[in-house]
């Protein structure tokens, strides 16, 4: 039965919250386990629906996965086959696109449906397809499926001097990760130019190097990979989720009181924190933690999503409730996703003064009071944005479609409750006429 959140706004938040593993890092890390027949141990695994679905998809192709603890798993991909792949779960999450790069090293042919995910605009995988074709991969689209066949370049020849230079047409995180997964066992050298440098890309690079891959330049926009004959198993701890950290930081700034966010890698949030400082948010950084208190007299700013180390696109919706309380006119600009700003309509229903300029830009005028009502969650980050707005708003806010939020945030209502928020998860009750 569908669930919803009910929030009574205006409550003070006090206490400490711990950041869990990054969803965006966990997906490619799990995919990397397919590159070896040996066991891998993965710790700090986030317990969110997208990752549970990824695990079930991997199990459906024959991967053995067992939990060694609440956030630690053992993965063994000795015998795999795509014949029984869970296509329904693949169609529900964007992370499944990473299976393409990983499976190329194991299967000469397989098919996979178009990946799902957030409703934030057209998310074609044309960048992936063009890049993988440079490695000699044949990819044909047949209705909603991609039929994928690897070429002779994946056949090992130790005397090979092959070198492939691939220039990505955009700083695509998942295309970069797919190429890394495909190239580590490719016969020859692969140079990826225009590579994404996000923390989760770097985390995948560390995992692959721990498995024996030869990689240079991860964290820059040029990555060089020298293919090896085989990879071995390893143990790897997933990085903390910096998007989750940013979400709780905004919660601390919006509500009365002070909260401490622990286990946060603040090096991943440099520009985000610089913007918060410009806005006037009260925070104090520590080694792996940050304390944030209620912030008044906020100033309007310009926010533009940029590739790492720029302002993260996933934090654009998260910061908007804060901007509704800033004095003046703020500009938000996300050039990547044409439907990223869909959540703005829900904030406007709550009383926010926001003008959409075009699909990528909007003006936010403030400060304006928000009032609770019934609203819809469009995607993971839009849902988190609406939770923040509900914590701030006067009265009761009801958020529907919260399965979207569960895809990326682990038990967010329980963690907010421990801080003092009045938020409940309830099942929708259908009323029938007698």
> pLDDT grade, residue 126 (50/70/90)?
confident
Domains and CATH numbers, the chain: 3-20+240-427 (3.65.10.10), 23-237 (3.65.10.10)
Question: DSSP string covering 172-195, please?
Answer: -HHHHHHHHHHHTTSSSEEEEES-
Q: Is 9 left (phi over 0), alpha (psi -120 to 50) or beta?
A: beta
Render pLDDT for 171-208 as a digit per residue (tens, 0 to 9). Answer: 999 999 999 999 999 888 999 999 999 999 999 999 99
> pLDDT grade, residue 163 (50/70/90)?
confident
User: pLDDT at position 124, please?
Assistant: 64
Asked if residue 431 has pLDDT above 70, the reply is: no
Asked if residue 213 has pLDDT above 50, the reply is: yes
Question: DSSP string covering 101-153, please?
Answer: HHHTTT-SEEEEEPP----SS----HHHHHHHHHTT-EEEEETTEEEEE--GG
What value does the mean pLDDT of the chain take?
Answer: 92
Tokens (6 digits) for 422: 């009045």
Question: DSSP string covering 204-218, please?
Answer: HHHHHHHTT-EEE-B
pTM: 0.93
Question: Percent of the chain, pLDDT > 70?
Answer: 94
pLDDT, mean of residues 63-78: 97
Q: Is 51 left (phi over 0), alpha (psi -120 to 50) or beta?
A: alpha
Asked if residue 122 has pLDDT above 50, the reply is: no
Q: Is 160 exposed, middle or buried (0-12, 13-18, 19+ CB in 10 A)?
A: middle
> pLDDT grade, residue 71 (50/70/90)?
very high
CA–CA distance, 62 with 79 (Å, rounded to integer): 6
CA–CA distance, 96 with 182 (Å, rounded to integer): 14
Q: How many other C-beta atoms can be found within 10 angstroms of the C-beta atom of residue 173? A: 20
Phi, psi (deg, nearest 5) at residue 274: -65, -40
CB 330 within 8 A of CB 357: no
Residue carrying the six token digits 């699909």: 359
Asked if residue 368 has pLDDT above 90, the reply is: yes
């Amino acid at each position: 039965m569908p669930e919803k959140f009910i929030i009574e706004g205006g409550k003070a938040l006090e206490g400490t919250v711990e950041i869990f593993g990054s969803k965006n890092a966990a997906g490619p890390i799990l995919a990397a386990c397919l590159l070896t027949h040996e066991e891998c141990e993965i710790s700090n695994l986030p317990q969110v629906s997208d990752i549970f679905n990824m695990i079930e998809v991997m199990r459906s192709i024959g991967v053995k996965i067992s939990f060694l603890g609440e956030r630690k798993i053992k993965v063994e991909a000795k015998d795999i086959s795509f014949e029984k792949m869970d296509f329904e779960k693949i169609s529900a999450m964007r992370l499944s696109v990473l299976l393409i790069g990983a499976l190329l090293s194991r299967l000469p042919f397989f098919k996979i449906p178009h990946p799902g995910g957030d409703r934030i605009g057209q998310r074609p995988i044309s960048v992936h397809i063009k890049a993988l074709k440079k490695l000699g991969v044949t990819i044909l689209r047949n209705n909603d499926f991609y039929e994928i066949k690897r070429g002779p370049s994946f056949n090992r020849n130790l005397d090979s001097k092959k070198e492939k230079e691939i220039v990505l047409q955009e700083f695509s995180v998942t295309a970069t990760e797919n190429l890394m997964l495909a190239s580590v066992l490719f016969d020859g050298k692969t140079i990826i130019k225009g590579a994404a440098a996000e923390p989760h890309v770097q985390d995948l690079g560390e995992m692959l190097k721990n498995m024996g891959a030869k990689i240079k330049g991860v964290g820059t926009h040029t990555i060089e990979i020298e293919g090896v004959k085989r990879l071995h198993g390893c143990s790897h701890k997933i990085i903390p989720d910096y998007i989750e950290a940013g979400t709780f930081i905004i919660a601390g700034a919006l509500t009365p009181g002070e909260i401490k966010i622990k286990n946060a890698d603040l090096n991943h949030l440099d520009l985000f924190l610089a913007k918060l400082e410009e806005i006037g948010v009260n925070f104090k950084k520590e080694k792996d933690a940050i304390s944030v208190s209620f912030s008044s007299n906020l100033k309007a700013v310009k926010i533009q999503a940029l590739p790492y180390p720029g302002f993260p696109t996933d934090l654009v919706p998260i910061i908007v409730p804060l901007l509704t309380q800033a004095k003046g006119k703020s500009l938000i600009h996300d050039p990547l996703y044409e439907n990223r700003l869909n959540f703005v309509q829900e904030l406007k229903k709550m009383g926010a003064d926001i003008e959409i300029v075009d699909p990528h830009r909007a003006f936010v005028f403030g400060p304006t009071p928000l009032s609770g009502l019934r609203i819809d969650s469009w995607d993971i980050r839009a849902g988190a944005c609406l939770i923040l707005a509900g914590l701030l708003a006067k009265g009761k806010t009801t958020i529907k479609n919260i399965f979207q939020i569960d895809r990326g945030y682990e038990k967010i209502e329980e963690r907010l409750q421990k801080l003092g928020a009045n938020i409940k998860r309830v099942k929708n009750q259908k009323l029938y006429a007698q």
